[in-house]
Chain A
Amino acid sequence: ILNVEQSPQSLHVQEGDSTNFTCSFPSSNFYALHWYRWETAKSPEALFVMTLNGDEKKKGRISATLNTKEGYSYLYIKGSQPEDSATYLCAPRGFQKLVFGTGTRLLVSP
């Protein structure tokens, strides 16, 4: 069982602030790293899948980087907006399965 840690557990920022979260995971037996966005009362939705060391993905104001050698990924949000409020989950992939972290809950106040 992979041990996945996400920090911080929760974050409260003002609209326009930029922010970042961390996902740490064991670097052995690594296939890929997934990021999901999970809004309250909805289902998780995929944001990024990253496989290679040094991978960098971007979707609008959200970007993510991956370091497989040291076992971490960062998610960045530039100029946070209230609609970015959600829980952000990371999930490293082992064979056939994702192992989800407990998430970082982001609240963006107007």
Chain B
Amino acid sequence: NAGVTQTPKFQVLKTGQSMTLQCAQDMNHNSMYWYRQDPGMGLRLIYYSASEGTTDKGEVPNGYNVSRLNKREFSLRLESAAPSQTSVYFCASRTGQTSIYEQYFGPGTRLTVT
């Protein structure tokens, strides 16, 4: 089992460029999440998908879009990158059972917008 995988690991963009961060999990989890991590801010939720076919905004959704392509994959798109979006992005997933809520995290994508 690969767990949660993310691509790319690193990316540098110029202001205004677009890109999609990919996330996939092989644990048959229902729910998937995108977080960003900034110094002194902790992990902040951007978007989440409670189940295939649904997506909801988190704490900091502005400037991002998401797609839950299927049960395995949840992508995060930056349509017009801004320097404020320089961050480390983590994808996470969890089973749908409320009694087992542990979230499993991917290795992260370090994005720099110049």
Contact = CB atoms under 8 A, between A and B. Distances in A.
B102 A103 contact: no
Given A43-B107, A96-B48, A97-B58, A32 B40 contact: no
Contact of A89 (B4, B42, B45): B42
Contacts of B15: none
B90 A43 contact: yes
Contacts of B35: 100
B59 A1 contact: yes
Contact of A34 (B31, B58, B101, B105): B101
Interface in A9-64: 32, 34, 42-46, 49
Kindly state the interface size class of chain A when it binds its partner.
Answer: 20 to 34
Given A43-B108, A96-B31, A97-B58, A32 B101 contact: yes
A81 interface: no
Kindly state the interface size class of chain B when it binds its partner.
Answer: 20 to 34
B102 A46 contact: yes
A103 B4 CA distance: 22
SS class, residues of chain A in contact with chain B:
loop
Interface in A62-99: 89, 91, 93, 96-99
A7 interface: no
A102 interface: yes
A100 B36 CA distance: 11
Contacts of A93: 101
A98 B106 contact: no
Interface of B: 4, 31, 33, 35, 40-45, 48, 50, 56, 58-59, 90, 101-108
Interface of A: 1, 4, 32, 34, 42-46, 49, 89, 91, 93, 96-103
